[in-house]
Chains A and B, each alone.
Chain A
């Protein structure tokens, strides 16, 4: 290497380092985007579940509508932490929530079990994809809540 070559190589190194730093930032942003997308889906599910449980008496579950409202509230706080626009309240009901909403009599318990099993599956998948530890732990505790309801509905007293 000649003395004249050296400055050009240094510039190249610097530009390379700067480019690497510039590439790392979008990777973090992609993680946040993914977390935000997951949160939006979960909030919509919780809003729908709260709506479906409201007015439905499912023995052995306490007040699942109030719990699901708490879940949605906690998830909205996490979403706001990512400086993301919120999710409109009262989105359309997903099929499992609609089934519970429309259920009557003996069908309620089966519909609630199907909804809880579906929510456990969705939270399980969400937990695999979330990158931010605080969001992950919030989602994990909600997964645990839905898993508890699923168990109580699967094994009646």
Chain B
């Protein structure tokens, strides 16, 4: 004999099961580690741009780093934890750093869940992408990748 309680339990379980599986909502990763990686990558890129005697590009990279550091401070993180490495005047190394910076920005976006933070991430990605293209172009290596910043 099927009791009313069994029917209600069965129905509830079925409804709950219907909400599981592919549609499971996962919480996004925390923003701080992603932004710290982006800041370290941006500082490395900026050092390369300065070493390659591209002062305008290096200045814009510093401005992006400043915006990232401010955002990290607002989150209670420590921007000084992101290292600022040395650089040589080596365009291949500079472009590798450029790619790493774009990759860091792309990878950070899912962790930036508020509209303002996501917008900041998109701004920084677009700005860095443009400057990496100009850096390559200045040394005879214009960009050819249709998906720059694709995580490797």
Contacts and interface: CB of A to CB of B under 8 A. Distances in A.
Given A141-B149, A147-B133, 17 more contacts: A7-B5, A21-B15, A22-B15, A22-B18, A22-B19, A24-B25, A62-B144, A66-B146, A124-B119, A140-B109, A143-B122, A144-B125, A144-B129, A144-B149, A147-B129, A152-B134, A152-B142
A3 B26 CA distance: 40
A148 B130 contact: yes
B148 A21 contact: no
A143 B125 contact: yes
Contacts, number: 128
A27 B105 CA distance: 27
Interface in A130-152: 133, 136-138, 140-145, 147-152
Contacts of B122: 123-124, 127-128, 140, 143
Contacts of A29: 23
A13 to B, nearest CB: 9
Interface in A1-49: 7, 10-11, 14-15, 17-19, 21-22, 24-25, 27-29
Nearest to B143: A148
Nearest to B26: A133
Contacts of B30: none
Interface in A94-129: 120, 123-124, 127-128
Nearest to B138: A157
B109 A136 contact: yes
Given A128-B118, A128-B122, A140 B149 contact: yes
A121 to B, nearest CB: 10
A136 B125 CA distance: 13
Contact of A137 (B18, B25, B109, B145): B109
Nearest to A22: B15
A123 B149 CA distance: 15
Interface residues of A, number: 46
Interface of A: 7, 10-11, 14-15, 17-19, 21-22, 24-25, 27-29, 60, 62, 66-67, 70-71, 74, 120, 123-124, 127-128, 133, 136-138, 140-145, 147-152, 154-155, 157
A82 to B, nearest CB: 11
B18 A21 contact: yes
B23 A25 contact: yes
B85 interface: no
A128 B129 contact: no
